[in-house]
Chain A
């Protein structure tokens, strides 16, 4: 859980930095997107590196879901009779929404791939013009896409707020001071990524990027 999660967090950071290149203009952004496909060349031919990366991500996602499912099934088995009086959350709210949050994020990722990777669900859908795809996606009249995107990113934020802390704990963070630090790191990452991901659609929505 912790190891696959951390791989995915690193990917999210890289992905966000890439997204922010949209503010440097269409040419630059499109150039970056094409470069992504050719990293590693000429050592690795063509899109090899991309596929290695994709494989690693898929393995991480599958591993992450597999581990989460195992934990969820164990949790269910560990309490065969439920409480009649449901308890209020006393620990962290983020921790209690990990499972549903995870499902929302998974659905979003599928949509997101169909939208901006394959272009299937994108109004432009031209893989060679990613900038145009993005701008078309978050156009004001397609406000529902932006809304879904926003909700999903917030879900990611919640997921990370507990996930990053929990991953550090699972990997052996053990002092009270370290615990406070781990919580700060988790919060900063969660808020940072949320903001980083949300500025793009809102920039499009407000016409800052067009």
Chain B
């Protein structure tokens, strides 16, 4: 396959950035998308150019490091698939492919296709956990969890934190990421004591980081490589409404 790539090149955070066109020939349909970029980079290096910087690590769709917008789609055209698992057989010979970084104020560009997603970590630090210091745990079987809840919690916990939801959202909102964690923890009995402080802390951190507001547009779940469902956001909203009603009410037993 021969392809024309238009790739966003940006030297650093201060650089303005632009789309640059490259020609890549002899691409095998069995290559992954990132392997195709490897081929381009090898050629760029030997030609004395700077290779295209992009984040990637496990290349098996679980670490969440890779992420780029391919022809307007976060992670490219194949559903439920990260960019590293996308293979070139999904493209046509002679095609022109546009490759851009995640675009959001909360994800400033570091270089080329690499962005800083530290804002997602901050959301977790603001409450996306269960306080259980090492050594304090009771026997695992002391708290049974209904299978349905455990399964639903797992479904939300499958989030890989890649940020595709933010990249695809017309509002630049990170609500699906936030809601996935809120849902996982609020479905488990272990998560109940911090249920309401958690949701307020996480939503506040989300807003502070410069993400947009959610309008339930549903683009996020369409591109999510792990298929995190949109109804997690409803769960977040419900917890958030209850939590704001309770804010400041620390009466024991209430």
Interface residues of A, Cβ cutoff 8 Å to B = 70-71, 74-75, 77-92, 95-96, 98, 162, 165-166, 169-176, 178-179
Contact = CB atoms under 8 A, between A and B. Distances in A.
Contacts of A90: 73, 168, 218-219, 222-223
Contacts of A170: 216, 237
Contact of A78 (B17, B71, B100, B104): B104
Contacts of A79: 103-105, 172, 212
A82 B221 CA distance: 21
A3 B217 CA distance: 18
Nearest to A84: B19
B151 to A, nearest CB: 12
Contacts of A179: 230-231, 234
7 contacts: A79-B104, A85-B69, A89-B219, A95-B218, A96-B217, A98-B215, A171-B237
B35 interface: no
B103 A81 contact: yes
Interface residues of B, number: 42
Contacts of B69: 83, 85, 87
Given A71-B213, A165-B216, A85 B98 contact: yes
B237 A91 contact: no
B212 A71 contact: yes
Contact of A88 (B8, B72, B241): B72
B106 interface: yes
A88 B222 CA distance: 11
B170 interface: yes
B4 interface: no
Closest 9 CB pairs of A and B: A172-B238, A78-B172, A91-B218, A78-B212, A87-B72, A174-B234, A90-B222, A75-B171, A85-B98
B231 A77 contact: no
Contacts of A84: 6, 8, 19, 98, 100
Nearest to B211: A78
A91 B217 contact: yes
Interface of B: 6, 8, 17, 19, 69, 71-73, 98, 100, 103-106, 168, 170-173, 210-213, 215-223, 229-235, 237-238, 241
Contacts of A85: 69, 71-72, 98, 100
Contacts of A82: 103
A97 to B, nearest CB: 10
Contacts of B241: 171-172
A83 B73 CA distance: 10
A172 B6 CA distance: 42
B12 to A, nearest CB: 14
Contacts of B210: 77-78
Contact of A71 (B19, B104, B215, B230): B215
Given A85-B71, A90-B219, A169-B231, 6 more contacts: A78-B171, A82-B103, A84-B6, A85-B98, A90-B218, A96-B170
Given A84-B8, A87-B168, A96-B217, A169 B234 contact: yes
Given A71-B213, A85-B69, A86-B72, A176 B231 contact: yes
Contacts of A91: 217-222
B253 to A, nearest CB: 24
Given A85-B69, A171-B241, A172-B241, A95 B217 contact: yes
